[in-house]
Amino acid sequence: MSLQVGSKVPDFNLQGVDSKSHSLSDFKGKYLVLYFYPKDDTPGCTIEAKEFTSNYDEIRKIGAEVVGISADSYESHCSFRDKHALKILLLSDPSLKTIREYGAYGNRGVFGEGTMRKTFIIDKDGKLVKEYPKVSPLGHSKEVISFLKNLSK
């Protein structure tokens, strides 16, 4: 499945590391940086999460929130958050429902089938404004910040 820029994105209802259930409507009125990643505490995923955490305050000043989704369990997410002092909200999608709805599940080459690294920028009304279909973790948060700053102009 491929989401189109300008279209409404799928809603979700997933448990976060804050022990609360979260849906798309929780972020209405803000830009949402929704990123999908393969696995907690792996090298690339750790780089990406730590960079989003390092730049979290700057992203929030722009009027955006950052949310990471993987198929890992709530317990795994909590351990990952605590180990790396992550500020970002992590949501658990063990059923892969949301991951599949966003087109973030598929063939990862030598890593086989699984969650792919993708980022979606969603506007204040729940519409897609940007998709990063192939993300390189190093420097990605700065790329997102640059895009968000241009949106705010």
Is 45 annotated as catalytic? yes
Contacts of 65 (CB under 8 A, 6+ apart): 27, 30, 31, 32, 33, 59, 89
Q: What share of the chain is helix, strand, coil (3-state, %, to 5)?
A: 35, 25, 40
- Among 85, 97, 108, CA closest to 39: 108
Q: Is 104 helix (H, G, I), strand (E, B) or coil?
A: coil
Using DSSP, state whether 32 is helix, strand or coil.
Answer: strand
Which residue among 33, 45, 59, 91 is the active-site one? 45
Hunting for tokens 């204040």 — which residue is that? Answer: 124
Q: What is the distance of C-alpha 57 from the center of its chain?
A: 16
> Among all residues, which ones are annotated catalytic?
45
